[in-house]
Every structure is written in structure tokens, then in C-alpha cells.
Amino acid sequence: MSTALSGLPGHVITAPDSAAVAAQAAKLLGQALRDAIAARGTASLALSGGNTPRPAYELLAAQEGIDWTKVTILWIDERAVAPTHARSNYRLAKESLLDRAPIPPAQVHRMLGDASDLEQAARDYAAVLQQHLVSANGVPVIDVAVLGIGDDGHTASLFPGEASVRVRDRTVLAIAAAPEHDREARLTVSAPVLQTIRTALVLAAGKAKHAPLLRVAAEAGTLEETPSRVLRDAKGSVTWILAV
């Protein structure tokens, strides 16, 4: 790992390849879920989309010793597509985790990216978070979350050049489509929610992630340029599992 990445906030674990990222992530996710259940009787797990998490979710589903009856499943973000669409984060989770682990369906709370009114869907999901999570200073506290980092430095669906990364008075946001980036509209939790996660695992594999990671690790930089820098002010534990 380049020494410059040592500036990343939290713990950094380097892995030889994406399969090793997935294996390490699944191990740490299982441990964090067991710890949350032991400490508070329940655990909330919030999922991101993208390519990297799929094998980690599959390995987590196969892991012994997790009392899934105590786990609530949430999302970090979702694309404005049907839950059956190939780009749906719900579909990713359903195929790799929900259909493989004995998670009670009543404990799975999908972000309604396919809603006709995304602003209303954002308000509705904020209410879901408030209903199912404890809050700290008005911000819902997710126990365990899987995050990623885009080649452009985004995390969740907080993208460069947008004001959304600085919104602090709402917990879930509707993000407009960006046709110039071939990107559909999104729903995403906001920066304060990301910063309040008790145990956040950031998974990154591939050389294209090195540059945005360096921008997170650097002392100087802006949230607008690199939204993943919000994790520099995380109150919980952040662990970067990298094969970059």
C-alpha cells in the first residue's frame, strides 16, 4: 500500500485482490453484527450497491453464527429503477444475501427507488430509519454498513460537484439524474448518517480507486471534489479494505 494511503481516516486493510477484499469484508461484517447483537440485542446492516460488494454479501450469507432474526436490513442508496432491474441495489442484495440467508422479510426495508415521487420516497425512508434505529443528535445510528468509493470519489450516492454532500438537515436525499454521466436519479442517505455509522466498511478494488482514495487521504481537499472525504469526520469506526 502506498504510504500516502496511510492518511485514510480509520483502519486500512490491504488485500491482494477483490476476492480477498470480499473474504475480509464478510469476516468483519459477521463479527460486527454479532457484536451489535451481543451489545444491544439487535443489529442494523445497511448495504451499498456497485460491483465490489456482491461476493462479500454472498460469503456473509453463508457464514455461520449470525442470528438473522435479530438483523434489520437497510440500504445506503438506491438507483431510480425497478427492484428487478439489473442496476438495482435491492436486486443485488436480494440475489447475493436476502435469498441466501434466513432474514425475516419484515426486517428488510427497501429504498423505493422506483417511486414516482423520489422526494416523497426520501422522506418516507427517513421515517423508516427513524422508526427502526436509535438516534444520536437527531441522526439515525446504523450499526454496520458497507460503503464503496467511485472512481470519481463519490460514496453512497453523494457525487462530486453537487451540493448534496453538504446537506445536514435531512437524513435521506433524492439525487437528480445526471444524463451527462449516464446516471439515473438516486436515493441516498446523507453525510450525517454516513458519519454516524458505528462500523463502516469501505470496500475498494482496482487501480481506478487509488486516485480517489489518495484524495480522501490527503490533508487538503474539498467535499465537493471528493464526497468520500465525509468519512474523515466519521464518529464511528471506519475500515478501508483495499485491493488497489
Question: Judged by CB, which is closer to ligand 6PG: 33, or 175?
Answer: 175
Nearer to ligand 6PG, 43 or 149 (CB): 149
Q: How far apart are CA 56 and CA 29, in angstroms?
A: 9
Q: How far is the CB of 204 from ligand 6PG (least distance, A)?
A: 7
Cβ 128 vs Cβ 109: under 8 Å = yes
CB atoms within 10 A of CB 107: 17
Which residues in this chain contact ligand 6PG in the complex, by CB under 6 A? 48-52, 76-77, 89, 148-150, 154-156
Amino acid at 76: I
Give the C-alpha separation, 158 to 148, whole Å.
11
Residue 37 C-beta: closest distance to ligand 6PG, Å: 25
Q: Give which of 211, 209, 229 is closest to 219, Cα–Cα.
A: 229
- CB of 61 or CB of 187, closer to ligand 6PG: 187
Q: In the complex, what is the shortest distance from the CB of residue 174 to ligand 6PG, in angstroms, rounded to a whole number?
A: 14
CB of 67 to ligand 6PG, least distance (A): 26
Start-to-end C-alpha separation, the chain: 8
Nearest CB to ligand 6PG, comparing residues 12 and 213 = 213
**Which three cell numbers, joined as nine digits, stand for 93?**
442484495
If the CB atoms of residues 149 and 174 are measured against ligand 6PG, the closer one turns out to be 149
Residue 195, strand partner residues: none
Least distance between ligand 6PG and beta carbon 156 (Å): 5
